[in-house]
Structure formats: C-alpha cells, structure tokens
Amino acid sequence: MDETVLYSVDDELKSCPCCGGQAILRCGSVNGKSSNVYSIVCGTCGLSTVTEPTSIREDSHGSIILRESGADKVIKLWNRRVSDA
C-alpha cells in the first residue's frame, strides 16, 4: 500500500493508548486503484487501525447521495479505542 502522511491531528486524534505517542492519519491507495483508504498509525510504536475506504452511495441516476469519509471513520475508531483502553 502506498501511503502518504496527510497531517497529524493534535486536536482530533487522541494520543496512542499503548505508548502515548502522536497519532498520524494516513491516506493510501489499494493495489494502485484510485479509491482512497485511510488508517491511523502511531508514529512512535506503529500501532494502527484497520484501513477504511471512503464510501460513496449513489441513487439510480448515478448522483452521489452520501459520501462517508474513511478518515472520519478511522478517527472515530481510534478515539474510541483510546477511551476504551
């Protein structure tokens, strides 16, 4: 998976539940396809979430009716994991 560090989100992302390190939101592509997937990884110990794609739902005419960001999903997942720890 090709990965690009987008930005680190000090305010939105809690620190790592394992080591307290800074979490980083990453964006990558799967098998060279254009669909973006997101994951969050600890910059210190490498703890990471699963990757989540950005899902788009279309109506029968092909108009986009819902776009759910993979970044939002992994941020919620990461923050929930931290609070559960």
Residues near Zn ion, by CB under 5 A: 16, 18-19, 21, 42, 44-45, 47
Nearer to Zn ion, 42 or 75 (CB): 42
The closest of 50, 45, 49 to 22, measured between CA atoms, is 45
Q: Which residues pair with 24 in a beta bridge?
A: 8, 41
Residue 72 CB, nearest distance to Zn ion (Å)? 22
User: What type of residue sits at position 50?
Assistant: V
* Pick 48 or 69: Cβ nearer Zn ion: 48
Output the smallest distance, CB 8 to Zn ion, in A: 13
Of 47 and 82, which has the nearer Cβ to Zn ion? 47
To Zn ion, the closest distance from the beta carbon of 12 in angstroms equals 17
